């Protein structure tokens, strides 16, 4: 699995622990991969991907009433939600308003094979990267 995931464009490195059941996938800043693309390769190698802890940089936007993180360069989006273990963090990030550039760490829940919707990112923590909204 490490070799297959490592061949994906935009992957800088991969560390796998079969004993502990996880893979750490480090992506280049300008990668164009989706969580589902990585999960697909993991599935193709006989493993069952579970929830993924993700760190993503992007801009806060509102789409169809949802707060989303738009991640460059292709504008991939994550629908932001509340993480049960960090309840106040979602309210804090939502209060920032649209246009703010942030770095968000959160959890993308497990999905079924072939999932094509907008992934959910449950906010654990975030850092504001700009000094004012645009």
Do 119 and 88 share a domain, yes or no? yes
Do 7 and 34 share a domain, yes or no? yes
Q: What is the CATH number of the domain that holds 59?
A: 2.40.50.140
Do 21 and 86 share a domain, yes or no? no
The answer for residues whose C-beta is within 8 angstroms of residue 18's C-beta and 6 or more apart is none
Do 24 and 59 share a domain, yes or no? no
Q: Answer yes or no: is pLDDT of 50 > 70.
A: yes
Last residue of a domain, one of 27, 49, 71: 49
pLDDT value of position 133: 59
Stated pTM of the model? 0.89
Q: Answer yes or no: is pLDDT of 134 > 60.
A: no
Domain range for 45: 1-49
Instruction: Report d(CA 37, CA 88) in Å as an integer.
Output: 31
Cross-strand pairs, 121: 80
């Amino acid at each position: 699995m490490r070799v297959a995931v490592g061949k994906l464009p935009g992957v800088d490195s991969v560390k796998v622990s079969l004993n502990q059941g996880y893979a750490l996938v480090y992506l280049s800043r300008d990668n164009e991969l989706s969580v589902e693309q990585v999960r697909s390769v993991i599935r193709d190698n006989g493993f069952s991907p579970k929830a993924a802890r993700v760190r993503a940089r992007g801009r806060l936007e509102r789409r169809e009433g949802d707060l989303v993180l738009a991640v460059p360069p292709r504008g991939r989006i994550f629908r932001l939600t509340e993480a049960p273990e960090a309840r106040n963090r979602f309210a804090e990030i939502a209060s920032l308003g649209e246009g703010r550039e942030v770095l968000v760490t959160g959890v993308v829940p497990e999905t079924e094979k072939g999932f094509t919707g907008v992934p959910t990112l449950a906010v654990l923590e975030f850092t504001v990267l700009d000094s004012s909204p645009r």
